[in-house]
Amino acid sequence: MIYLDHNASTPVRPEVRDAIASCLGDLHANPSSLHREGQRARAALERARDQVAALVAARSDEVVFVSGGTEGDHQALIGAAWALEARGRRVAISRLEHHAVHGAAEVLERGGFAISHLAATHEGFVDPAEVDSLPEDTTVISLMLANNETGVIQPVAGVAERAARRGIRVHTDAVQAAGKIPIDLEALGADYTVISAHKLGGPKGVGALIVRGGAPLESLLRGSGHERGRRGGTENLPGIVGFGVAAELAARDLMAEGTRLLALRERLEAGLTAAASDVVIHGTRAPRLPNTVNASFPGARADHLLMALDARGVAVSAGAACASGAVEPSPVLTAMGIACDLAICALRFSLGHTTTVDEIDLVIPRIADAVRVARSAAGARA
């Protein structure tokens, strides 16, 4: 099986697996306990916090461990909106956001908050000037750092600069960006940043919300003083330890792996163009992650392509992984103004640390064959 769905989840690295197994076997105490065994667990927790902070050039005390990207996005957007409610009851999100951010906005809307939306360009990014036209009662803006479907990198720093002039806080979902491109939170200017372990070689079910010093935030999960009072509940120590190791490895390999993945991405795109001359690759005129290709094959529906590729030993996604199997056009591509008949023919290929040159070369003829089959199934001429 050729696995090209790393944006959905990437394989756990062997060093991470070993660290988790060691933690499960040796660190059984609660990190909040004051006895010796509890303090051993606490030391492991804080080491992981240091490792995660280093990946994004943050301070360790700014890192809040959560269960993953979805919880982090909810905690950031809702918690910030609640904390800033005295200033206004409106948040703004881009139309390109992950479902988790749209879901958090829906929770706020049910509580009486108003939601504004930042438009996207045809190339899949948000113009920072959109910030200037937001209503005066806007308190928080949410703009992802890199899109999970197209890989387009968003101008978060430009948005944050304009937002700061107006006293608006900025949340960024950096789940797809962390470990793939350098992140310096001081330069980025975001107040709340979310990353997730299973996108960078760590386990599922653990992530981090990084809250810059002084940024207001109310906790969603209450009842205890865990995570400096910012997130209640006993920490997932084995997952967090694995997350820490994955973050350290991602930071170590960042530049070399980014260069390698970019070469593989370019090789894949050249192969796709040779295999289907009418292929449309989305976001090519914008900066993108080195590992992500979103391509439409006119006349070949994405669901038909997925089945044909799976039968040929290739794993990819149609749009966002959590929407795979849906025939409706991707909301991201729709926001970019991509026509429906082209958007429903889009696949996402995402490469990772296990992807090789040989796999890219092997996958091209399989894709070409799958496109022919899918077009035939749709009654289109191959």
Give me the active site residues, please.
322
Q: Which helix (H) or strand (E) holds 195?
A: strand 192-196
Angle of CA points 75, 79, 81, to nearest 5°: 130
CA pair distance 179, 195, nearest whole angstrom: 9
What is the DSSP secondary-structure string of 126-183?
--GGGGGGS-TTEEEEE--SB-TTT-BBP-HHHHHHHHHHTT-EEEEE-TTTBTTB--
What 3-state DSSP class applies to 288?
Answer: strand
Helix axes 69-83 and 99-110, enclosed angle (nearest 10): 40
Q: Where do we find the tokens 């958090």? A: 104
201, HSE (Cβ side, Cα atoms, 13 Å):
27
Structural element, H or E, at residue 293: strand 292-296
